Amino acid sequence: MAESVFDCVVIGAGPGGYVAAIRAAQLGLKTAVIEKESPGGICLNWGCIPTKALLKSAEAFHTLRHANEYGLEAKEIAFDFSQIMKRSREVVDKMTKGVRFLLKKNKVTLIMGTAQFDSPGRIIVSEENGNKLPIEYKNAIIATGGRARTLKSLPVDEERIITYRQALALKELPQKILIVGAGAIGIEFAYFFKELGADVTVVEIMENILPIEDEEISQTLAKNLAKNKMTIKTGTAVESLKRHGNTVSALLKTQDKVEQWDGDYCLVAVGIVGNVENIGLERVGITPERTFIEVDHYYRTGVDGIYAIGDVIGPPQLAHVASHEGIIAAEHIAGLSPHQLNYNFVPGCTYCQPQVGSIGISEKKAKEAGYNIKVGKFPFMASGKAVAANQAEGFVKVVIDSTSEEVLGIHIIHSEATELIGEASIILSHEGIASSVANTVHAHPTLSEAIMEAMADALGRAVHV
């Protein structure tokens, strides 16, 4: 069975797995990737991509309803929820076909089915038709991804009490929805549903929404969402959650105050757990720790020839992180000495409106780490491009070391923050110096000038604020 012997077998064709497989094939390794659902994984099929399609529809709806602010006239603006959801799935279909094309182009064998380790060096794939396909491998990369975390106190029924996956397949717009968890997933869905007219309440047990972001950014976003009549309850726990027919009821506790919430849907967005079950890890000597697989900086599991990447190895659970981990693992298998991923320089994005983009450490964490810092800010209301585009909300905030001027963190809240964070990523990954950025000529008028201006402000040489 020579055709079933591979140099590298990747389990899971998400943004980590398919990228790892392609890179391994590019390096001359005979490679297969095994996928049980659809190439692209959760990100492409049930996460990053379909949600961005929904959010774009919400943004367009918002712009049309405010056409008069641009000197335009648009009457009887409405939406078709079923068409919005259909468009989202059409985008997914187009992208999954693209992944299949890339795998074929790079001569990666795509095997559809469920994989289980049978013994060291051997995997059994259960195909949809019931066949059992044995695969022999010299190296394997586990890229099985993650799924929504569920808790006994938050009993998901996938109908009225749902996770992101069911939210992406809804047949109707919720009238009144409770969103538990104010991380990126929860906030993005909150914005989408609210923009289309739903009554939205967001509950977060931490003191701020987007709790991993800079506090000033999180608080600014919360004020903006509240201004648009979204109810946000931080420092609040869900004491109980029950469904009665088409009604969902919850008891919400904030300090010593308990109140009841009633609506038609609840979205649970309280984190991600790794998909470590039913893949035969015990047969090859791998023991997960709290649903995650421990690895070293080359993503080796400690078992010869077996690597793991992406959501299944734990935070930060981001598609772009998984892709880079996959490349490093594939290059190490091929005998190269790849760079190590610096997790301090990983950008994070939230695609509500205004968007949030950040990289590096926050002002608070910089102080806690003992840095002597300077902070610079530039408001977009002082940006000619932002004002002309009617997108003047938000600001850029930079944190720099006051002695070396090294840039420690860049935090942006603006309608285009997730695009602007690209420049910030280059600055931090190259250990950028604030004065160097401030001295770099930026095109005018552009939104990206705001990063330059914020650096100048941190250095005490701001001109436009």
Question: Residue 43 belongs to what H/E stretch?
Answer: helix 41-46
**What are the phi and psi torsion angles at 350 (to 5°)?**
-130, 130
Range 162-170, long-range pairs (CB < 8 A, 24+ positions): 162/265, 162/266, 162/267, 162/268, 163/267, 163/268, 163/269, 164/46, 164/47, 164/51, 164/189, 164/267, 164/269, 165/46, 167/267, 168/46, 168/50, 168/51, 168/54, 168/85, 168/88, 169/85, 170/81, 170/85
CA distance 9 to 229: 50
DSSP letters, 198-261, are: -EEEEEESSSSSSTTS-HHHHHHHHHHHHHTT-EEEESEEEEEEEEETTEEEEEEEETTEEEEE
Q: Decide the pairing of beta strands 231-234 and 236-244.
A: unpaired
**Within 10 A of 134 (CB to CB), how many other CB atoms are there?**
12
SS3 assignment, position 386: helix
Say which residue the tokens 């009841």 belong to.
260
Say which residue the tokens 């190590």 belong to.
340
CA 98, 6, 297, 339 dihedral sign is negative
Q: How many helices (H) and strands (E) does the chain have?
A: 13, 22
CA 23, 26, 31, 32 dihedral sign is positive
Query: Residue 229: CA atoms inside 13 Å, Cβ hemisphere, count?
Result: 8
Which residues are identified as catalytic? 444
Q: Are 203 and 252 in contact (CB under 8 A)?
A: yes
CA distance 415 to 380: 10
Closest CA to 188 of 314, 66, 58, 320: 58
**Can you say whether residue 320 is alpha, beta or left, with left for phi > 0 and alpha for psi between -120 and 50 degrees?**
alpha
Residues in the chain: 465
